[in-house]
Amino acid sequence: MDWLSWELLRYPGWLLAILLVLVGLIGTVLPAIPGVPILFVGLVLMAWLEGFISVGIGTLIGLGLLALLSVIIDFLATAEGARRFGAGRHAILGATLGLLVGLFFGLPGLLLGPFIGAVLGHLASRANIDSSMRAGVGATLGVLVGTISKLIIALIMLTWFALAWWL
């Protein structure tokens, strides 16, 4: 029996691909996990395992560009949301740290973490409470816009991949 045969490697490969897609989907709503890029790697692995017969290189390039777009949106959304509401660098850093700490407190932490972090960061830069609260609202809205955008991009990617696979 050939232990390194292609057929023996296919099953763990498919399990890994499915796991990557699932982790990628979860990562679209959890900020510490780069969800869409992980999803993309899972989709590329699926295409490779079936020999690029149904899903071609053109589709994968398009999916890769969408994954790149999601990363850019993710970075810009929180910062831009906070900036539009008057936040400075300290507030944006605070929002990012608050987001990471908020991971440990479930959904309320994910929503309140960036807000509290931005407020504390803005207060640390000697700002008043009103402008700090505005910065917190902006950071929270930015996180929500970024998360919704990533989720939409992930669903577009899955739909595109499925259509390429079955049509």
d(CA 93, CA 120): 10
Nearest-10 crossing angle of helices 89-102, 57-84: 120
Q: What is the CA radius of gyration of the chain?
A: 20
Higher-confidence residue of 91 and 6: namely 91
Q: Residue 4 above 50 pLDDT? A: yes
Q: Report whether pLDDT(153) > 80.
A: yes
- What pLDDT score does 2 carry? 54
Domain ranges, ordered by start, for the chain: 6-166
Mean pLDDT value across residues 48-62: 94
Q: How confident is the model at residue 1 (pLDDT cuts 50, 70, 90)?
A: very low
Q: Using a pLDDT cut of 70, give the percent of the chain over it.
A: 95
